[in-house]
Amino acid sequence: GVAAGVARRAQAVRARDPGRAGRGERVKAATMFSGIGAPETAMPEWDWLWHAEIEPFPSAVMAARHPGSINLGDVSAPDFAERAIDAGRPDVIVFGSPCQSFSVAGKRLGLDDARGNLALVALGVINKIRPHYFVFENVPGLISSAGGEDFRVLLETINEIGYYIDGDILDARFHGVPQRRRRVFLVCENADLGRKKRTSSYAATALNCLIDISLSCLAAHTKRFEADGIVLEPRGRYSP
């Protein structure tokens, strides 16, 4: 589902440069917090220039499966953006920063956790590289982290660095994967591409829509748990 959405936007990139499509040039892409390369596997027709992974095992997997992609290592390194530009400026960057800080299964420290702050570090990298598009993925718990404040900061930061946002919550079981795996996806477009500008309130509108979806799902699960005699205790920084 997400790969299809990015593919549609990649076609838009080609449409703005008809000569590029005629020359048979592939969309240039990269990933951060790359793991074992799910985006690379989903879109093998793209030219994956580089990735960023620090853990030994996934780094070894990427080296074996995507030898043409350069591992730039730690996203938080001071010279990361400069090295990324030297390795090749991509049209699309895909990343999902560590989700433990936002997951309802964790301590939910959100942006107060160094891992949660990596989302903002990655946006700093995006701001320096300025790809046409980037895709951000994380757990639905991101929306309610710190009473919605963390998600608001994320959306406002994306707008501040000059990107428009399209967002949705997708479940892997409806996209060919035999498991229930819900994730928030934000597909963000560089405002410099010249498309019709959205209002400054768009980030708030996207936030409200996603919060409504999250609260509806939470209410449904709460009723199911209560029917089984389970009481959900409030959690998080803003809990009474």
More confident residue, 114 or 53: 53
99 is catalytic: yes
pLDDT for res 102:
43
What is the per-residue pLDDT across 117-150, written as a single tens digit (0 to 9) for each?
788 889 999 999 999 999 999 888 787 777 778 7
Question: Which listed residue (99, 188, 209, 217) is catalytic?
Answer: 99
**Other C-beta atoms lying within 10 Å of the C-beta of residue 196:** 5
Give CA–CA dist 108/88, Å, rounded. Answer: 35
Lowest mean pLDDT among 157-166, 179-188, 221-230: 221-230
Write down the mean pLDDT value for the chain.
74
What is the per-residue pLDDT across 56-74, written as a single tens digit (0 to 9) for each?
999 999 999 999 999 999 9
Cα atoms in the Cβ-side hemisphere of radius 13 Å centred on 26: 10
Sheet hosting strand 47-51, strand order edge to edge: 70-71, 47-51, 28-32, 92-95, 133-138, 182-190, 163-171
